[in-house]
Amino acid sequence: MVLLKTLAHQILSQKVNVGDIVIDATTGNGNDTLLLARKVGATGRVFGFDIQPKAITATTKRLTSMYNLDGVTLIQACHTLMPSFIPQEYHGRVKAITFNLGYLPGGDPQIITQPLITCQAIQGAITLLAPTGIITILAYQGHEGGSDEISAIAGVMQRLSDQGFLVRQHTSPAPGPILFLLSRESEATAL
Ligand SMILES: C[S@@+](CC[C@H](N)C(=O)[O-])C[C@H]1O[C@@H](n2cnc3c(N)ncnc32)[C@H](O)[C@@H]1O
């Protein structure tokens, strides 16, 4: 069985092309940011958000293998603020936005994504998304508050599905993660 973190990377890898504009909403240790930076290349743009200076530092270090970092912008801020930090010219043009929720591995487990904030950030992310773009959300059941966060996200996903968005969900047995995929495309053309 493919790990859902691996599946999220496979989906992002298929979806994102050289020159695209993408966002990592939770940079953490920078693994997702690195994947995105490699995919978009020197002509693309990557914006990475995290509330912790430690995560921004770790992500900066993780990116040292990149030859050209001109297109990568790391921002220490809450991901609810993404629409105000992303330049207006990119609104509606972002090809992929990835959320990898929970706490920073190796960091303070008390600093953790919060259900209401996460849901607000997802709503903001939609305003940035390109018509053919995708939002991936990896949420964990195994930590305190994880199940509440998943329930809150599932509620948002249901409402978005009712509004015509395409929502898909991959689950793994507890305490494994759940991967939500959100796009505007029809089932036939979406990954
Ligand atoms: C599981 S880690 C992310 C892993 C990361 N994507 C990677 O590849 O290593 C979750 C991160 O979310 C961050 N976070 C928590 N609340 C946040 C918020 N409101 N806005 C942005 N980042 C937040 C934490 O600081 C933590 O670094």
Closest CA to 183 of 83, 97, 108, 111: 97
Q: For residue 188, is it within any domain?
A: no
Report the SS3 class of residue 96: strand
Q: Does 75 fall in a domain?
A: yes
Residue 94 counted as domain residue: yes
Q: Is residue 189 part of a domain?
A: no
* Domain CATH number, residue 40: 3.40.50.150
Tell me, yes or no, whether 137 lies in a domain.
Answer: yes
CA dist 9 and 140 (Å) reads 16
What range defines the domain where residue 34 resides?
Answer: 4-183
How much of the chain, in percent, has pLDDT values that exceed 70? Answer: 96
Domain assignment of residue 179, yes or no: yes
User: What is the distance in A from the centroid of ligand 1 to the CA of 158?
Assistant: 24
87 in a structural domain: yes
Q: Is 166 in the pocket of ligand 1 (CB under 6 A)?
A: no
Out of 5, 26, 84, give the residue to mutate to test ligand 1, the one with the largest number of ligand atoms within 8 Å of its CB: 26
Does residue 1 register a pLDDT over 70? no
> pLDDT by residue (tens digit) across 125-160?
999 999 999 999 999 998 888 899 999 999 999 999
The amino acid at 37: A
Question: DSSP label at 163?
Answer: T
Q: How many domains does the chain have?
A: 1
Q: How confident is the model at residue 44 (pLDDT cuts 50, 70, 90)?
A: very high
CB atoms within 10 A of CB 50: 27
Task: Please provide the average confidence, as pLDDT, over all residues in the chain.
Answer: 94
19-33 pLDDT, tens digit per residue, is 999 999 999 999 999
Is 98 touching ligand 1 by the criterion CB < 6 Å? Answer: no
Burial of 108 (0-12, 13-18, 19+ CB in 10 A): exposed
